[in-house]
Structure formats: structure tokens, C-alpha cells
Structure 1
């Protein structure tokens, strides 16, 4: 467990360094030059030396505290660099590639990146004896991390690392993704869910576009600004942070539009004063107005959002660390320390609060006391685990806690919905991607009843079975708002015929939902939809999508 922990911490730090170098936040090739210099001195290497590792550890220490050496290094501090590696951990300078034969054989990389010419010459002198870890670090350092890494790539790194970790732990038969129900969510899904929860919560009329939101508050934009500053958003199964990062993007965009609107309003006042008033007194007023224009600082706004608006919990320690790394990318700024994220992004079991049941039990009121002192969370979003497996003791405990959704089948996604309802503020917004059995499977009638009892503005999109890579499982997006009055209808959209590529460019916000009245549900809370009407509304003719030609006819042979 410790080996895996420090291997991941090492890689997270290295990826951050490469990113910071590529984006001008710190000097370029901060340790690569030292590595090549030492590699060029053949005589100082031995079978047991770890000089390159020692160089990297010194760089880590400088990035924590800062350094005024010949190359000045700013101390970023924060959680990423302040933990020291145990003395027993290192990697050797020389290591034959055959030592890593198993890893190379299992690698899925088809085209292996090459070293630059300078590095190749030095490696050639050592006749293939240099540790492949060093070679890979130098190759990574040659990438442009401004354009070649984003949250989607990090998500795939996360997926692959989970698979690698389960193999390292000797858990080959039962993958962690299967046991804990972990699947990385595509960006078009996170975008739709975040827009259709965050914006409607801020709106008085339930709009779901930023432009309409600004128009709605044009008489009192400060009220919207205050609501944005106070909003509390949670992902109770945050994975690699895809939903939280998308939520940050949307809040940043809203804040920018608010500032633009306020500046436009001030500019309009100036124009009016220039056309109506010509006295020296009016010119003085104009100068004051000009000085009050706000400048939009994206990094500072992101830092403010992370400190005040965004919260995440995950059972998986590895995914929590990748979420933090993704956020560090967002807030990394030259000569400015990193934030401490331990109060916002936490590791724990979102479903269980009893330490007698699991050591990862998570007490919500204790861990997020400042939230529950005032209210609850305003928006809950995410992709909860589906069908996560529990031992019998844990299963019996969960059935008692989540009795509203466990009388038919125990499924983790249903319990996450019940837990989320208990964490949402009275007018809060909710958005998950879940199995599409929630639409009409008898086993999920309990969670449908729960949703209908406590919510309104329910929207469901049947996404079919081609959302997640390497996973053939039908899924649906569901969004709703908490409400004391039961809804009289829900909105349904069927996109089962679309594949992943088509869905990634489809405008999910398009208003072609089917309205289903609650009275049109049968006794198992399944939808009694007229199939012909349904087909007419949500499908298209084959000839509209494909060019149809005749093949060989039987009677012509």
C-alpha cells in the first residue's frame, strides 16, 4: 500500500512539474539538465547508486520551501510537495530493461516516444543499462503540457492507474472498477449535468443557459453575484474530478459574464452622462465611474471558487489525489503558493458514517461542519458507483440506513441518490448519470418513488449503452430540483440510437423532451408511453441518416 501511495505521489509531482514548466510557471527543464550532466559522468555510477533519484528529491524539497540558488525556484508549498518520502524508497540509476520485462509486455502503448538527440547520445554510452524510469521521465519532460494534457487525459490516466494498482495488489480476478463501480465520465455528460443543475439553481425561473441567467438578473445583477459567491456544490463520488472541474468552468464563466454586464452597465452610464451633461462636474463623475470598472482575473476567480464553492468525497484514495492534481493545474500561478485542498476534497465512504462498519466511514456533519452550520449543499452532481459490491455485514448495515431504496435490491447508485437527498438544501439541484433501469425496471421502483416524493423539474435522458469506453451498460442522465410539492409530470428524452461519437456533438439541451404525466405511470412506476407516439417523437427515418440502395434480389439470381 505504501509503495503504491508514494509511486503515485511521485508521478503526480512530476506531472505537475512538467505542466508548470510548459506553462511558464517555473523554469524549463528544471532537473533534466542536471540528470543529463550526471549521466554524462560515467565513472560515478554503480550498481547501487541512486543519484538521479536524489536530484529529484532535492527538486521536490525546493518546490516546497523555495530556493535562491543559481536557478531560483519558487516554493509552491501546499499538499503536493510538503510530504517527505521515506528514506527506504528510491530507484537505482542502473537497471537493465529486462528487469521491467513484465511491464513492457503488458504495455498497451503501440508507438513508444523517443528521446531527443542529446539524450540518445548519452544513453548510448551506457549501453542500455540506465534505468528505464529515468528514460521515461526525460521523455515526459519533452512533451508540451499546455496542449497535450487535459482533464480527459487525466481521467484515462486514472482509469489505467486503477487497473495497474489492482494488479500490483494481486487482485486480478476482481477489478477495482468492478468492485467499486468506477467508470470515467465523458465530458459532454459532465457538461450537461453541471449546466442543468448549477444554472437552474441560481435562476428564479429555472433557465439553463448563462445568457438567459444574466438577462433574468439585469435589474439586480448583484443579487446573482451574491448567490454565485455562496453556492455550495458537492460531488459525493468525485473520481478523478471531472464533474468538479466542469462546475468550476461554469462558475468562472458566470462570474465573467456578471463582470462584463456590470462593466457594460457602467459604460452605458458614461455614454449617457457624456451626451446629456457637459459641465466639469459631470466629467469628474465620469472619471469615478471609469475607475470603478472591474477587471476579470481568471486564476484568482478559480482560487476563490475552489476555496468557497466546491467539495468532493471519494472512497478511492488514488482518485482523490488525481482530483487534487487536476485542481492544482487550474490554480497554478507563477510565484504564488498552491492552496491546501484537504478541507474541500476528502477521502471517505460517502454512504457509511459508522466507524465500526468501515475505517473509511465519513461523518458528513463533522467533515463539512461549516456547510451544515448554515444549510446543506445547493447542488449535488456526479457519477456514483453502480452495483458496487459489499460484504454481508456492510450490506445489512446499508439496508437499514437506506431503507427507502433497499427493499427490492441493494444497489450503490440508489443509495447515493437517497444520501444525496439528505444532503441537499430545500431548493437544491441534483444531477447524476445512472443505469437506465431507473426509467422503468421493477427493481428500481423504490428509487423512482423516492425521487417523485421529494423533487420537481425532473428530466431524464436515456443515453443508451455506448457512453463509457469498454463498458456496455445502458445509462441515463437524471436531473431534478428538491421540492415540497410533488410534480405532475416529468420530462423524458430518448437517445438510445446515438453512438458515443454522435452523442459527444449532440446538443443535449435541445428542448425536444417528451412530457410524461405522473398519472401515466403504472403500479410499478413504469412509464405507460404510447409506443407509436414515442417512436414518432424520438426516432428518425433510416433514409434520413443513410443512403439506401438495393442489393442482389432473389428473383434476379
Structure 2
């Protein structure tokens, strides 16, 4: 696009009076009003909120200017989309040389890096500078470090397209900045603030743990974990308060002089108890507080050296962190990783830091991306708030039953705060002076008292890990203090005799959300020592939240519960008994959380979680799906695909309401194929969504269809209606069977040469297939392998040569080596009933695929566990069924039924296979019979062509047959499309 005329006017104006603008008399405020504001208006930003949108959704926030320690503590502009920060802009007066001055660049990069923003802008209008703010800032960096764009104002004419492509509001909304940072080639120095800060506090944990363990030999492992956690939490809390102007700047740094550092820190902690009333600082018993005080940490002996290493790294200019802009959400993400490790003690009472067993098994800790939290909160909390007044929301109860470090509760709390503020402002801020005050920037903010009230009234959480509970409390308390200053808190303390923070002991609780105290009813309590009881951590919901449950339950349940958590056998027995309504076969911890907490949902309340995608399609979740469908009104299901870093297990989002009506529509969205970087942007794009009536999904075998493209859903319904039966109903009584599994002790495979050399009896030999590579569509490449089949283990004693060979080589023989000719025999389980494998005709398919690949076996072949097999009832012709299953249509249909495409360990699931809709033929209908026969003849043709191709000697002959195979395959595809009455538009969609 051409450069706007208003920008041309700005350039010309600046050029005419450049000497005046470069003088020290022309200040930063003037350059912002005269040049920077109109420049960004030309880029589509509502800089002055002329549209009058609520505070939450303002495009641009003009930050307050707080001076602490001689430093400006907030960036001049924060540009946002949908309430989410996208980039900072730091303005300078033109007298500053941005090309070479290092301080402005370091200042901006500290802000943006701490806020986890990928890029940000430094400008005085004369110079427009963009920095890659993923690169960790250092006080010794040059002005050019991490710089990605430098544009002089005279270059705006020629480079406007470049600026607009990156920073126009519409471009940012479409993900331009995310794509830009991905495209940057130089990744040297890239370090996200969460990773860097995690490294810092892990170092602090280690040096504190080692010193506390050495100097306090009476402490248990649990005591040391608590002491270290609370010390780190308190220091972080107070340091953040310093940067926000709530605590005196460098107060913590002041304890470093003249020794006795921990004694002086304890004095600061006790002062904080008087000031904040938080469980973080709770050292004396108080009548109105049921939570017991901390009797441990004030009496600790800790040397000066750990604090001399920790505290200086917190302060400018040595510290890259700017705590005034560090998002609480980032702190939660850091702690999520931090809590994945635990302090253990050696026999000589030395501290070690180890991964928790469950984290080691899972391969790490994975926090929920903020955009997923925001989406679930908006579509649960947001829906219940719609049309209500603040008075009506006081009884709203929001629960995360596995809150971890608190990401969902922080998201819900922030949403509530924004909603309350906007409601009061829209209703007339002058009427709500008890709840609102106006900041220096003009922005309306909630008072600390209102923020406390909302937190105590509305936010509830449970977690089995006591450290996680403390982190959740810390994060929520820091949210309470956002926007406060030492002056506002002092006024509150003086006028209302109230401390600044609430006690969250009744809101955020530690316990096992899944196991109550009746766990011990049928157990010998003596079998469980104190550590085991502490680990199980039973929790009685009816006691802990009695008023809420007596009132009908929680209004909203949200979160990301544990997936695949491990349990002991007594725990599993208890869980199976208490959750039997939803257990099919295999079970996963997330299923218990969904089932139990759905039942704690108040009438018309909302449930929203991110869960494994298997909930939507796997047979083991069939009862859980039925439980949801029968009892709740599904609002939204999203197929999210890969969301978590380093996790290959795909995810889904499901939101439903405790109100059942089959006449509602389900909002659906398929984001599985969207790049991780762009998923947050895609969620805002309405083109990704559609809807399906909930009543429609009662008749389909998989809830996954509600996450599919509606056009795909329509094809599915057409195919289903054209069919008259399911595959499971036309398979013979043996059903779908897997092949036999490896076991060196029971049965053997040999090639022909070995069979002849050892003069094996032919009646004991059976043809065998050992892998999916041998089975193609319509054709089997038969290897030279024979199974030595015997019904009794004693028969092997009559095969001394084989027994001796196996004994010598049992640790080195593999199936792959047999196929490659490296070993003449391979061991297998003795097969099950022989008749399963010796049917005159059976269909054999490959398990390790994301689509159906089947061939016809007429040679009574025994197959191994990489394959499945089934026979058909009369009068079904296996050629006809094989043509259907191998068709392009059924590649499409199967991938709708099961999300296997792209998975590392993709498998064809027999449970899903059995649900495929098979068109039955009326033998008295001439047209149908003709179509059936054409399919069978075409299958025969392909089989013959494959045989001829394998016998062909020349490349030209092989190519000729291959082309004929492709043509015959397409012919079958067209016949199958006709069989299921699909039109050309639907066929094009499938083949695309």
C-alpha cells in the first residue's frame, strides 16, 4: 500500500523543523503527541480509544510513569489485540541518538523480554528501531545487539510497506509478529524469560537447600522443601513489590551489609505479615484465621553466603528482569517447571535435587499455553457473567480441581477483575468510588479492597502438591496488588485498619481431588506409613467445601487435570470402585477428574478443560462420552492437535453446561493442522468454527465428528445412511483378531532351507507373515518363512537341533534379521486356535498405519502381531469388502473416526474398524448386483496385475503394470463413490 498522506505530512513537518526537534527543549511528551500517536493511528491503532471500548480491550495502554531508583518503571506504550499484549513501544526525544546510545535499547529490551514479547519498538520518530526481544538483554550489550530493523524517518517513504506489513493492527492480529520472529535467522542468544528465570530459581533452590540441610540437621526432607520454597517465594514477592512501587526500592538489597542477613530478612518478613495478612507471611496465631502459622522458618539457621549470591542478581543494571512488567502468568509457568523437582536428603543429611518420579516418567512438566487458558475462561466464566451485575456474581464459585501453579485460576481471576472494572466504568464510574479509582494515566482501576473481595468470593482450587498450592496463592496475591503503590496500601491500612492481602486458606487447599478419607475404610492403616499417607493426601470435598456443595456445587469447573498419572494398586482399586460408571477397559487419570468434577457442577454451570483427544474417539472413553452426552449440554469441542511443547500426545478442548437439551448446537473447530505458533491467532478466526446439532452425534460411534469440518460431517452422514450395516456385524464369530506375539520359548519360524536341512515334518509347518511391509493394498508379498506349529510344548523336545540353536542364539535373534536372511529362525508365541488362521479366505490388514491397508489371504497363513485378520459371514464376498476398505473414500472415513494421521505410533484400531459402515447389496436389485460384481472383478484384476508386476524383469514392464494398477485402483474408487451415492463436489472434497 502507498504511504498515507498523514504520514507524509509528519515526515515533511519533522524535516522542516529538525533542528528544533533535536534540541534538548523538545521533550518526550511532545514527540509522542505530535508524531508517534498519529504515526500509529495511520497503522490502524486506536491510540486514544476513540471507539470507547472497555479498558480490557483498549488497543493502546499509555503506562503510568513510576520513578523508582532513578529509573522509569513502565514502557510508554503497550499495544494490544483483544486485551493481549503484542509489543511495547518506548519513546525518546529526538536529541537521543538511538543508533548508538545503549541505555534506551537495554531499557526497552528489559521491558519486552521480561514481558515475554517477541519484538518491540524504540523510536523518537526520527529513528524507528525494532528489536528481537527474545534475546536475553545484558547491560554491556551494544545498541545494535538484537536489532532487526533500523529505519531513518527519510526512509519511511520507501519502507512503509515493510513497517505496515509488520505493525499494522490487522497484520498483528493475523500473526505478523509471530511469523516475523520465526523467520529471523539469527537465533544466537535467544532465551525466553521463563527459561532464564527458571534457571535462576533452580540455582537458588540448590544453594539454599544445601546450606539449610547442612546447618539444620534436625530438619526432615519435607521441612527443607517447605523452608526453601517459602524463602524463595517471599523474596520473589517482595522484589516484585519493589519494582511495582509497593515496597521501598532496594529494601532487600539493604540486608546484605554487616552480616546476619537471614535475621534481617526475617524482620522484613514479619513486617510483611503486619502489612499483607497473607499465608505467605503468617507467623503468629490469630483467632479469625483457621490456617496454622509457620513455626519453622523464623528459627532456621542460614548463612549469609546464599543470600549474597541470590539478592544482587535481582537489581538493575545487573539483572535483565524488569519485575514491574513480568506477567504473573509467566511466573506461574516458571513455577510449573520448578515444582517438577524435589529436594531429597542423603543418609548424611546432604541435600540433592531430583526430578519427581511422575515428572521423570512423563519426560518433563508441561504448562498450559496462555491462549488456551484464555479461551476456556472466556467461554465458561464469560458466559456465566453475561447479563449479570457485580452483586449477582458474588456467589459465583470457580474451581480448578488440579490447579498446579494456578494458570487457570489466574486467568479466571483476571477475567473477573476486567469484567468488574468495565461494568463499573460503563455504569458510571462516579457511582462506584468504593470500587474504582483513577490512575495518573487516566485509566480506571479496581481498588485493592474490591480485588480482594472478588478473589475471596469467586476463586477456588485444590492440588495434591503443597508446594503448588503455595505457588497458586503467591500468584493470586500478586494479582491483587497489580496497580497498587505504597501510598494506596498505606492509606488502606490507615483508614480501614485492613491489611493489604486476603488469607486464601479457605479458597486454595491441598489435597487429593480423587481420593477421600473413605479410602482407608477397607485398608489396614498400618500398611501405610506417614510418608505414604502424606503422598496419598486424602481430601473430603463435603467437609472442605461443605457450604458450596450444599448450595448445589460449583458454578464453573476449569483446568488441565493430570493425564496418565500413576497410582498404586490400592488407589486404583478405590478409583475403579468410585468411578465404575465411566470405566470401559483402559483408564487414564483425566477420566476421573472429568467424571467426578462434572458431578460437582451446579445446575446451569459450565465445565471447560483441555484434555487428551482420546476423549473424543477412543473406545475406552465411550462410557465417559455417553455420561457427558446423556447428562450435559455440549457447548464447544475443539480438536487442538499438538499444543504442549515436547508433548506428542494431541489434545482437545471440551466445554459443556449442566443443563441437558438435545436441541442445541455444538460449536466445533479443527485446529489440529494449525502450526503451534499460529494456534492462538487461529482461535480468533471465526472461519475455523462451525456447528452441529448435539442430537446428531448420538448415532455416531465417535464424538470426534463434532470436531471435524462440517462438510466432512455431511459426507459421513451420507455414507452412513447409504450403508445398511457395520463391519462388526458382517464379520464371522471370531471377530477381528491380532496376530501372534514374540516369545522365544514357545514357537519358531524357519525358512525353507532350514526346514529341509533339519528334515522338519511338513505337517508341522505353516506359512507365515511377519510384518506390515509384506501386506500391500490387494496383494501380499510372501516371504520364505514357515511357522513350526505344535499344540504341545513337549513336542519341541523332539526338535533337539532347534532347541539347541535357540538356546545359543535367543538373545540375538530378531524378526527383522530373519527377514533379512541374517538368522534362519525367529521365535513366536504358540498361536491361538488354528482355525483363526486357516480359514479358506480371510482379510489381512496392517496395524501400524494411519489408514486401512488390507489384502486377501487364501493360503491359510499365520500372521504376527503387526497384522490383524478377520473372516466374513455368508454371503459376503471378501473381494467386495476389501474393495470398500481399501478405497480412497474409506481412507477419508477412517481418518475421521480415528486421529492417527501424523502420529509417531499410528495404529489401525480394531474397535474403530468394526464401526465402519458397509453397504449391503440387495441380490434382487439388478443395478446393485452389477455394481457389486464390477468391484469384485476389478479387485481380481488388481491382484493379477500385482502378480504380473512381481514376475516382470524389465523396468519398462514394471512401469506398465504399475500404471495399470493405478488405473484399476481409481476405477474401484469411482465404483465405491457410486456405491455410497456421492456427488462430484463431495468426491473432490475427499480427494483433496
Q: TM-score, normalised by structure 1?
A: 0.71
Of 311, 330, 337 in structure 2, the residue corresponding to residue 159 of structure 1 is: 337
Whether the 8 Å CA contact 1:312–1:344 is kept in 2: the answer is yes
Structure 2 portions without partners, runs of 5+ = 1-221, 283-293, 346-350, 438-444, 491-498, 521-532, 716-992
Hey, what's the Cα distance between the residues in 2 that align with 1:244 and 1:290? 26
**Contact map agreement 1:235 1:380 (CA 8 A) in 2:** yes
- Counterpart CA distance in 1 for 2:413 and 2:394 is 12
Q: Is the 8 A contact 1:520 1:527 kept in 2?
A: no
CA RMSD of aligned residues (A): 3.1
Q: What number of residue pairs does the alignment pair up?
A: 437
Alignment correspondent of 1:30:
251
Pair 1:170–1:291, CA change in 2 (3 A)? closer
> Following TM superposition, by how much is the alpha carbon of 1:372 offset from its aligned partner in structure 2, in angstroms?
2.3
How big is each residue's C-alpha offset from its partner over 1:82-141, in whole Å with a ceiling of 9 and x where there is no partner?
Answer: 224357733323xxxxxxxxxxxxxxxxxxxxxxxxxxxxxxxxxxxxx35422222124
Matched, 1:484 2:644: no
Tell me: CA distance 1:247–1:424, structure 2 relative to 1, closer, same or farther (3 Å). Answer: same
- CA shift digits 1:315-347 (9 cap, x unpaired): 111111100000111123533432100000000
CA distance in 1, matches of 2:636, 2:325: 35
Tell me the residue number matched to 1:62. 271
Alignment of 1:11-50 (within 5 A): 11-35=232-256, 37-38=257-258
The equivalent of 2:908 in structure 1 is none
3-state SS, counterpart of residue 425 of structure 1: strand
Determine the C-alpha separation between the residues in 2 that align with 1:87 and 1:427.
Answer: 47
Identify the residue that residue 326 of structure 2 maps to in structure 1.
Answer: 148
> What is the aligned partner in structure 1 of residue 505 from structure 2?
342
d(CA) in 1 for partners of 2:683, 2:714: 19
Secondary structure at the aligned position of 1:461 is classed as strand
Distance 2:224 2:641 in 1: 40
Distance 2:434 2:500 in 1: 29
SS in 2 for 1:230: coil
Residue 80 of structure 1 is aligned with which of 273, 280, 283? 280
Are residue 139 (structure 1) and residue 339 (structure 2) matched? no
Select between 328-337 and 252-261 the one with higher mean Cα deviation. Answer: 328-337
- Aligned residue number for residue 111 of structure 1: none
CA–CA separation in structure 1 for the residues paired with 2:575 and 2:435 = 54
SS in 2 for 1:201: helix
Match for residue 473 of structure 2? 324
Contact 2:225 2:342 in 1 (8 A): no
In the TM superposition, residue 388 of structure 1 has moved relative to its aligned partner by 0.8
Answer yes or no: is the 8 Å Cα contact 2:266–2:298 preserved in 1.
no
How far, CA to CA, are the matches of 1:290 and 1:417 in structure 2?
Answer: 40
Which of 400, 409, 431 does residue 235 from structure 1 map onto? 400
Q: Equivalent of 1:472, from 645, 648, 666?
A: 648
Moved more, 82-91 or 375-384: 82-91
Q: How does 1:76-115 map to 2 (within 5 A)?
A: 76-82=276-282, 83-86=294-297, 89-93=300-304
Query: In the alignment, does 2:562 pair up with 1:353?
Result: no
Q: Judge conservation of contact 1:492–1:515 (CA < 8 Å) in 2.
A: yes
- Tell me the SS of whatever aligns to 2:646: coil
User: Are the aligned partners of 1:302 and 1:331 in contact in 2 as well (CA < 8 Å)?
Assistant: yes
Q: Is the partner of 1:478 in helix, strand or coil?
A: strand
How far 1:459 sits from its partner (Å)? 1.0
Which range moves more in the overlay, 508-517 or 7-16? 508-517
Give the secondary structure class of the aligned counterpart of 1:79: coil
CA drift at 1:171: 5.7
The alpha carbon displacement at 1:147 in A equals: 1.8
Rate the CA distance shift 1:21–1:348 in 2: closer, same or farther, 3 A: same
Residue 823 (structure 2) aligns with: none
Aligned counterparts of 2:364 and 2:546: Cα–Cα separation in 1: 28
Distance of 2:710 and 2:247 partners within structure 1: 62
Cα separation, partners in 2 of 1:170 and 1:355, compared to 1, 3 Å: farther
Specify whether residues 173 and 367 from structure 1 end up closer, same or farther in structure 2 by C-alpha distance, changes over 3 A only.
closer
C-alpha deviation, 1:2, in angstroms: 1.2
The 8 Å contact of residues 299 and 330 in structure 1, kept in 2 or not, is answered as no
Tell me which of the two structures has the higher relative contact order, counting C-alpha pairs closer than 8 angstroms and 6 or more residues apart.
Answer: 1
Task: Determine the structure 2 residue equivalent to 1:297.
Answer: 446
Taking the aligned partners of 1:293 and 1:361, their CA distance within structure 2 comes to: 39
Distance in 1 separating the partners of 2:608 and 2:432 = 41
Aligned to 1:519: 696
- How far 1:399 sits from its partner (Å)? 0.8
Q: Which whole-Å CA distance do the structure 2 matches of 1:290 and 1:80 have between them?
A: 31
Shift of 1:460: 0.8
Residues 291 and 229 of structure 1: is their aligned pair in 2 closer, same or farther, counting only changes over 3 Å? closer
* More moved, 6-15 vs 181-190: 181-190
- The residue that corresponds to 1:195 in the other structure is 378
Shift of 1:353: 1.4
Shift of 1:458: 2.7
Shift of 1:174: 2.9
Aligned pair partner of 1:392 in 534, 552, 569: 569
SS of the equivalent of 2:538 reads coil
Q: State the distance in 1 between where 2:458 and 2:411 align.
A: 13
Q: Distance in 2 between matches of 1:15 and 1:502?
A: 32
How many Å separate the matches in 1 of 2:423 and 2:263? Answer: 49
Tell me which residue corresponds to 1:362: 539
Q: Aligned residue for 1:493?
A: 669
Tell whether 2:680 aligns with 1:504. Answer: yes
Task: String of CA shifts for 1:42-79, please: whole Å, max 9, x gaps.
Answer: xxxxxxxxx222222222223224xxxxxxxxx32321
Q: Distance in 2 between matches of 1:294 and 1:187?
A: 27
Instruction: Point out the structure with the larger strand share.
Output: 2
1:421 and 2:641 correspond: no
Q: What do residues 504-523 of structure 1 show as CA deviations (whole Å, max 9, x unaligned)?
A: 33334726424344435556
TM-score, normalization by structure 2: 0.41
- Supply the distance in 2 between the matched residues of 1:528 and 1:195 (Cα, whole angstroms): 24
- TM-superposed CA distance for 1:26, in Å, is 1.6
Q: 1:461 is matched with which residue?
A: 638
Tell me if 1:412 matches 2:589: yes
Q: Tell me, in whole angstroms, the C-alpha distance in 2 between the residues paired with 1:452 and 1:136.
A: 54
Q: Tell me: CA distance 1:297–1:454, structure 2 relative to 1, closer, same or farther (3 Å).
A: same
Equivalent residue in structure 2 for 1:256, among 421, 425, 430: 421
3-state secondary structure, aligned to 2:509? strand
How far the C-alpha of 1:191 sits from its partner, in A, is 0.3
Larger Rg: 2
Q: Is the 8 A contact 1:461 1:494 kept in 2?
A: yes
Q: Distance in 2 between matches of 1:235 and 1:290?
A: 31
1:120 aligns with none
CA distance in 1, matches of 2:252, 2:480: 23
Q: In 1, distance between residues paired with 2:372 and 2:699?
A: 30
SS at match of 2:711: helix
User: Tell me, which stretches of 5 or more residues in structure 1 are unaligned?
Assistant: 40-50, 66-74, 94-130, 204-216, 218-222, 267-288, 538-557
Q: Secondary structure at the match of 2:607?
A: strand
Residue matched to 2:225: 4
- Alpha-carbon distance in 2 for matches of 1:451, 1:177: 33
Alpha carbons of structure 1 residues 149 and 250: separation in structure 2 relative to 1, 3 Å:
closer
